[in-house]
Amino acid sequence: MRQGRPDILIVGGGSAGCALANRLSADGSTRVLVLEAGRRDWRWDVFIHMPAGLATPIGNRFYDWKYESQPEPHMEGRRIYHARGKVLGGSSSINGMIFQRGNPLDYERWAAEPGMETWDFAHCLPYFKRMEDCLAAAPDDPFRGHRGPLGLERGPAASPLFEAFFAAVQQAGYPLTEDVNGARQEGFAMFDRNIRRGRRLSAARAYLHPVLGRPNLELRCRVQIARVLLEGGQAVGVETVKGERIRASEVILCGGAIGSPQLLQLSGIGDPEHLRSIGVEPRHELRGVGENLQDHLEVYVQHTCTQPVSLQPSLRRRRAPWIGFQWLFLRRGPGATNHFEAGGFVRSNDEVAYPNLMFHFLPLAIRYDGSQPEGGHGYQVHIGPMYSDARGSVRITSADPRGKPALRFNYLSTDQDRREWVEAIRCTRRILGQPAFAPFDGGETSPGPSVETDEEILDWVRRDAETALHPSCSCAMGVGEQAVIDPLTMRVHGVDGLRVVDASVFPYVPNGNIYAPTMMVAEKAADLILGATPLEPERTPYYKHPLSATSGSAGGDPDAGQTPEAAGARPETAPSWHRAS
């Protein structure tokens, strides 16, 4: 540390870690040290900064922790690959750059848990706004921010295949919506993305690099932490895997949904029987550490395209130099987009209170790891249920900090999950089978026409589905027996000087991609940690389907939104979020 012992030590310079580093060092007097296991996100690294390079870091040890689940019992024993960013910026340096807040009702569901009252949408909205600079929104849009570090571009989703997609969803009976992060999530729209002037805008670029000159902020990369040092119920610093001890007044874990529970368990905080069984001395009993793990699973429904209008040619090797040239010198062309420019949110049945399926449309047929089907042009929809009731765990298997923890997700283990998967595929097929696609449709190649019955669909999902890369909730906020983090302070229950701020603290995975919710948590946590006056809650009316008026209040007019009073209505038990009574 340039000025001696740090006041705050942030473990993990990932998405939440970069946001916290910025906010906590802003007053100039708090000395903040960020320790990141991965390397720097160098300016020359095109695989980070060129949006279309997003497939390359996955599976590459220079960027990715390369996790794998345990054999999943309901997925034919498959081990599901889990990428996680191991580089400055964390997963925000390798993610798909899709920016989704989730549904406002996700946060009402959070706030319905004991002790979580200040995490309802009204309290979260000002922090969502503080983080962003949304170029597509009107200056007076009460839902969107314009002065935050995270610049957001939208769309452009302007090609014959995107046009066909928007026409097809309407032919299938679904509405368009102006902004899925605005007053109404339900429907189809162009998506916001973390791209600015053709470059990825990671949390490191948005929050950390601009303030690295602050004398009270220090960053050390390639420093992996092995455990938190505890003295009599108080965190006093950390030990690195190389044995270096770094002391600080306060430690904040921002290691992500896998890294943070792993570090707590390595430090002796968790379920005492589990810890003893693998040779770790229990220091503090907290049985929820690593439990409650949630995620989104997804598949791609792929079609070949009969017209030369997909983005498939941009994948040809001989086009790479031209695309690279365009991106490098003009920040334009196929290299400057993540290709996830549009999609939407749908309720798959009339019992769910708000959308339970998310769609991404891609004018291209390609898997996340870059593999493509045989043949020429194609397009695909990414689809998956958003609030599965399957729960899993992160558990270390030895005291070795270099070892990987055992990840169990229990995908497809519940009736609800299986039912929604069948609905998801039928809904996707209904959209892709509409007349708007007729001029382009060369037939479904995956799963293909032989997959028809409910059981065939589930078999295919078991064989083919991949994670949508949203592990979360493994150190959940709350006050109950399984809760790990105090929602008012972000402190680990029962341990002084130790907090967790990242995707692991969600009580429930939100309905959408989870980067934006992670950054909202970090923004709000910064105020809680600093003891700053929290931003005023904003009770702005938002769209709620009539079915979601579960506690007796009116649900509001589906087209016109709803009253602020109805917006505040909450159901009494968690399951009613899913099955509207």
Ligand X SMILES: Cc1cc2nc3c(=O)[nH]c(=O)nc-3n(C[C@H](O)[C@H](O)[C@H](O)COP(=O)(O)OP(=O)(O)OC[C@H]3O[C@@H](n4cnc5c(N)ncnc54)[C@H](O)[C@@H]3O)c2cc1C
Could you say which residues in the range 81-100 bind ligand X, by CB under 6 A? 83-86, 90-92, 94-98, 100
Given a contact cutoff of 8 angstroms between Cβ atoms, the answer to whether 88 and 42 are in contact is no
The interface region with ligand X, picked from 45-53, 253-261, 278-286, 350-358 by CB under 6 A, is 253-261
Catalytic residue, from 470, 493, 545, 578: name it.
470
The least CB distance from residue 224 to ligand X, in Å, is 4
The interface region with ligand X, picked from 207-215, 306-314, 491-499, 512-520 by CB under 6 A, is 512-520
Q: E strands along 214-263, which residues?
A: 217-220, 225-231, 234-240, 245-247, 250-253
Helix (H) or strand (E) holding 519: helix 515-530
Asked if the peptide bond before residue 156 counts as cis, ω within 30 degrees of 0, the response is yes
Q: Which of residues 261 and 333 has its CB atom nearest to ligand X in the complex?
A: 261
Q: Is 469 in the site for ligand X (CB under 6 A)?
A: yes
Structure tokens at 382: 């990414």
Residue count (the chain) = 581
Q: Mask 33-72, x = binds ligand X (CB under 6 A)?
A: --xxxx-------------------x--------------
The interface region with ligand X, picked from 12-20, 177-185, 418-426, 524-532 by CB under 6 A, is 12-20
Q: Which of residues 470 and 545 has its CB atom nearest to ligand X in the complex?
A: 470
Pairwise CA distance, residues 195 & 189, whole Å? 17
- Rg (C-alpha) for the chain, rounded Å, is 23
Q: Which of residues 258 and 567 has its CB atom nearest to ligand X in the complex?
A: 258
The interface region with ligand X, picked from 182-190, 256-264, 347-355, 558-566 by CB under 6 A, is 256-264
Given a contact cutoff of 8 angstroms between Cβ atoms, the answer to whether 375 and 390 are in contact is no
| From candidates 112, 137, 365, 514, binder to ligand X by CB under 6 A | 514
Taking each helix axis from N to C end, the angle separating 515-530 and 15-24, rounded to the nearest 10 degrees, works out to 30
Could you say which residues in the range 518-547 bind ligand X, by CB under 6 A? 518
| From candidates 7, 8, 10, 13, binder to ligand X by CB under 6 A | 13
Residue the block writes with tokens 């092995």: 226
Pairwise CA distance, residues 176 & 179, whole Å? 9
- Three-state secondary structure call for residue 99: strand
By beta-carbon distance, which residue lies closest to ligand X? 14
The least CB distance from residue 263 to ligand X, in Å, is 6
Q: Which of residues 457 and 514 has its CB atom nearest to ligand X in the complex?
A: 514
Given a contact cutoff of 8 angstroms between Cβ atoms, the answer to whether 200 and 50 are in contact is yes
Residue the block writes with tokens 């992500």: 256
Q: Mask 165-204, x = binds ligand X (CB under 6 A)?
A: ----------------------------------------
Q: Is 82 marked active-site?
A: no
| From candidates 256, 261, 497, 571, binder to ligand X by CB under 6 A | 256
Residue by residue, what is the 3-state secondary structure of 439-507?
A: CCEEEEEECCCCCCCHHHHHHHHHHHCEECCCCECCCCECCCCCCCECCCCCEECCCECEEECCHHHCC
Pairwise CA distance, residues 445 & 159, whole Å? 22
Total binding residues for ligand X by CB under 6 A? 42
Q: Which of residues 97 and 436 has its CB atom nearest to ligand X in the complex?
A: 97
Q: Which of residues 406 and 547 has its CB atom nearest to ligand X in the complex?
A: 406
The interface region with ligand X, picked from 80-88, 121-129, 143-151, 173-181 by CB under 6 A, is 80-88
Parallel, antiparallel or unpaired: strands 297-305 and 466-467: antiparallel
Side-chain-side CA neighbours of residue 120 (13 Å): 19
The least CB distance from residue 374 to ligand X, in Å, is 25
Q: Which of residues 60 and 349 has its CB atom nearest to ligand X in the complex?
A: 60
| From candidates 470, 491, 544, 545, binder to ligand X by CB under 6 A | 470
Q: Which of residues 198 and 541 has its CB atom nearest to ligand X in the complex?
A: 198
Q: Which of 133, 50, 54 is nearest to 91 (CA)?
A: 54
Give exposure, 337-348, as e/b (b: 16+ Cβ within 10 Å).
bbbbbbbbbbbb
| From candidates 14, 148, 288, 555, binder to ligand X by CB under 6 A | 14
The least CB distance from residue 558 to ligand X, in Å, is 27
Q: Which of residues 366 and 566 has its CB atom nearest to ligand X in the complex?
A: 366
Given a contact cutoff of 8 angstroms between Cβ atoms, the answer to whether 48 and 89 are in contact is yes
The least CB distance from residue 310 to ligand X, in Å, is 21
Q: At 154, phi and psi to the nearest 5? A: -125, 145
The interface region with ligand X, picked from 255-263, 314-322, 405-413, 550-558 by CB under 6 A, is 255-263
Q: Which of 201, 203, 189, 200 is nearest to 341 (CA)?
A: 189
Pairwise CA distance, residues 540 & 562, whole Å? 10
Q: Which of residues 68 and 455 has its CB atom nearest to ligand X in the complex?
A: 68
| From candidates 503, 520, 525, 549, binder to ligand X by CB under 6 A | 503
Q: Which of residues 85 and 290 has its CB atom nearest to ligand X in the complex?
A: 85
Helix (H) or strand (E) holding 231: strand 225-231
Pairwise CA distance, residues 173 & 454, whole Å? 23
Could you say which residues in the range 204-233 bind ligand X, by CB under 6 A? 224-225
The least CB distance from residue 253 to ligand X, in Å, is 8
Asked if the peptide bond before residue 355 counts as cis, ω within 30 degrees of 0, the response is no
The least CB distance from residue 347 to ligand X, in Å, is 21
Give exposure, 464-482, as e/b (b: 16+ Cβ within 10 Å).
bbbbbbbbbbbbbbbeeee
The least CB distance from residue 24 to ligand X, in Å, is 15
The interface region with ligand X, picked from 15-23, 295-303, 430-438, 487-495 by CB under 6 A, is 15-23
DSSP state of 134: E
Residues forming the active site: 470
List interacting residues with ligand X (CB under 6 A). Answer: 11-17, 35-38, 58, 83-86, 90-92, 94-98, 100, 224-225, 254-257, 259, 263, 469-470, 502-503, 513-516, 518
